[in-house]
A and B are shown apart, each in its own frame.
Chain A
């Protein structure tokens, strides 16, 4: 399928930026239907821009230490050691909303965060006026449940419908939550504590690399195509979508 990989049609599809949220009304991305389903390998929710790219197909070229660390993310234990059983539904719902994982297959973000917090692998700084990151996570989950009850009469954040969850997380992102557990936190910092852990988990997973077309580990083999003629390695493939972004721009996307 070499002609498809770097063919002119694929390049033209994505040359325009119409799909980027900052350039769209309400900073909203287009509906995911403009993306192609994954044909090779796995991506989160099987959507992406590189339908024929599977980074794991090149794992035989990675060094042993890297291979071990990356492949371990595909086989995580589903036993939670840090979070209590009663926190898991809200934890899962929160992680799903923040990185828009609305279906299977999912990157196991909650499991990855639990493993990191249980091992005490923190980031090396704690904002003045904030509790330890581990305590901050418990407080955020409790706080989300409190908002769900106060605003929507639901017993937990997880019990809210999708729109309510989005609204609550939006307020957290804008640091507009207060009362209850939020009084023990600097809400802006709490969002940052949670998000840097969620993003580090999600984008360390090879399925997410497939979605964004990232070439992945490169040792002992390096890269040869730095441009300008091409930036594609033989094992990489160019982006593609199922729809003309110009039509997305015309307003049928969001």
Chain B
């Protein structure tokens, strides 16, 4: 009751990031005065990766007095100068170092799902921030597929609520999964998304506005969204949430050092089988350095985290760190992300307003009548010209036909799905024969769809086609694609089914944690950013309370 009265005004506790930002500059405040630790200075924790997981973990632990260094491969952004309101010009936001993709259904990486630089992939995510459903944590028990998490929804719920206040998330009251409210009201809906919504209403599909991590009201020094629609190119307004604005300002104010432009080469294991620090290479010098640390947390996301573990082989771990049970890199997951665009009589100009607007989780849970387990969500999206060209190409058009469809861009609007695709041990990250410019073997990601996955994707494609028909679309173009990554170092109940325990601590090394989406045993049909942050927030609490520590480390 009090919260609903205060809607739009309530702020998170224990995180001052929103007040630390400068209204007139987008730079991360505190970069110049940031704490600097020596390599030989044994810090409390060295975190690899300044994205959704690493940043939240650092901010929480720094508040508890921990001395922390974050090693980040990509650049320390200066958004006013580095980010542009332009698709092709945003190339540097993505992890564009080489990776090999294989399997029967190779997954395109780069701009599709991989970030690089301070703030991680959330710098260029669309902004959708749905929670997982309670059922996502028990798919093996309830649906007979996937895996059960060693933790329940209830353990993550307070952290979902906390992170939603920090981003802050705007959206309608949410009726699906565990019903909940959002701290900020839903944003206005563009005509392009409204057309889709009308189609959904005609087909009896329930849709809701949001949930998006985009400011819709007064929130410290973070401005209100200006509906320019360039969320995927890095928000130059500071309205869209990413760790760069939500957690790292507070982290720097609490003596965290972000060492950008530094590629982690391997985790060092000292006497007694404990991690002693992280060896890394600065991009401007090519010599190896090693940051000593009492604890190490890997948060490089689902490709680079397994890669770093596999590249950290030693005499005790000949097949890669924490990989004596052959679990590292397995159960890598993506979501099916088919998008269908419909043509309408009037100009809709879908590039206006943020791409994430209205979504539905009506099809999220298993419905036996559909003939497959688990389900999918439906979300509006809105490709800009290059994305639209790829969409048209995928329907088989090039040359004059492609130009004709491109000229029709303003008459189109786009709806997508996110299919829950099931974890499989052979969908895996391994090391390729090729090396990167630092001489480190690059990752190879093999991916093959299963029968349930294909059935889910095929069914969902008919649902959005039907939605577009109901909306009155005059022509429909469809592109089959994939989005998001999780898994690769999953949490489980024993070393023979997972890499980390319920506290995200590796089974093999007592002071080594994994703090990103790699730990997820399943991924539901929800965009993973919020869950990755909530997991890191929970992990920080378990570390500071001692619950996640060995007796010796408490």
Contacts and interface: CB of A to CB of B under 8 A. Distances in A.
Interface string B64-87: 000000000000000011111111
B409 A212 contact: yes
Nearest to B226: A222
A159 B87 CA distance: 34
Contact of A65 (B83, B352, B400): B83
Contacts of B403: 29, 99-100, 211
B95 to A, nearest CB: 5
A15 B345 contact: yes
B228 A219 contact: yes
B110 interface: yes
Contact of B101 (A20, A62, A125, A195): A125
Contacts of A37: none
Contacts of A11: 346-347
Given A49-B407, A123-B111, A66 B84 contact: yes
A166 interface: yes
Nearest to B192: A227
A242 interface: no
Nearest to B395: A22
Contacts of B409: 212-214
B353 A124 contact: no
B38 to A, nearest CB: 33
B190 A204 contact: no
A203 B318 CA distance: 48
Interface stretch (B5-13, B203-211, B383-391): B383-391
A97 interface: yes
A232 interface: yes
Contacts of A124: 94-99, 109-111, 114
A128 B406 contact: no
Interface in A90-139: 97-100, 121-129, 132
A199 interface: yes
Given A200-B88, A222-B227, A215 B351 contact: yes
Contacts of B346: 11, 15, 231
Does more than half of chain A's interface fall in helix, strand or loop, or is it mixed? loop
Contacts of B343: 17, 20
A128 B100 CA distance: 6
A231 B474 CA distance: 19
B302 to A, nearest CB: 14
Contacts of A62: 85
Contact of A238 (B83, B110, B189, B347): B347
A23 B475 contact: yes
Nearest to A219: B85
B352 to A, nearest CB: 4
A16 B345 contact: yes
A35 B403 CA distance: 12
Contacts of A14: 345, 347, 411
Contacts of A69: 84, 86, 89
A98 B237 CA distance: 37
B98 A21 contact: no
A119 to B, nearest CB: 10
A19 B404 contact: yes
Contacts of A196: 390
A243 interface: no
B348 A231 contact: yes
Contact of A128 (B106, B226, B397): B106
Band of interface residues on A? 35 or more
Nearest to B388: A203
B158 interface: no
B399 A121 contact: no
Nearest to A72: B89
B455 to A, nearest CB: 24
Interface residues of B, number: 78
A15 B236 CA distance: 35
A202 B100 CA distance: 27
Contacts of A203: 87, 385-386, 388-389, 406
A32 to B, nearest CB: 8
B85 A217 contact: yes
A28 interface: yes
A212 B191 CA distance: 19
A231 to B, nearest CB: 4
A102 to B, nearest CB: 9
B194 interface: yes
A217 B86 contact: yes
A217 B444 CA distance: 36
B386 A29 contact: no
A182 interface: no
A204 B87 contact: yes
Interface in A224-254: 224-228, 231-232, 236, 238-239
B399 A204 contact: no
A157 interface: no
Nearest to A69: B89
Given A196-B390, A199-B389, A217-B85, A226 B352 contact: yes
A21 B407 CA distance: 12
Given A124-B97, A126-B100, 16 more contacts: A20-B404, A21-B401, A23-B474, A65-B82, A69-B86, A70-B89, A99-B399, A123-B108, A123-B110, A124-B110, A127-B102, A212-B408, A217-B84, A218-B85, A219-B230, A223-B226
Interface of A: 11, 14-17, 19-23, 27-30, 32, 35, 48-49, 62-63, 65-66, 69-70, 97-100, 121-129, 132, 166, 169, 173, 195-196, 199-204, 208-209, 211-215, 217-228, 231-232, 236, 238-239
**5 smallest beta-carbon distances between A and B, as pairs:** A227-B191, A124-B110, A222-B226, A128-B102, A204-B88
27 contacts: A14-B345, A15-B346, A16-B345, A16-B474, A20-B343, A22-B395, A23-B474, A27-B397, A29-B401, A63-B80, A65-B84, A66-B84, A66-B89, A70-B84, A70-B86, A125-B101, A125-B108, A127-B101, A166-B399, A200-B389, A204-B386, A212-B410, A215-B349, A219-B228, A224-B227, A226-B188, A232-B347
Interface of B: 80-89, 91, 94-103, 106, 108-111, 114, 188-192, 194, 226-230, 236-237, 343, 345-349, 351-353, 384-386, 388-390, 393, 395-411, 444, 446, 474-475, 477
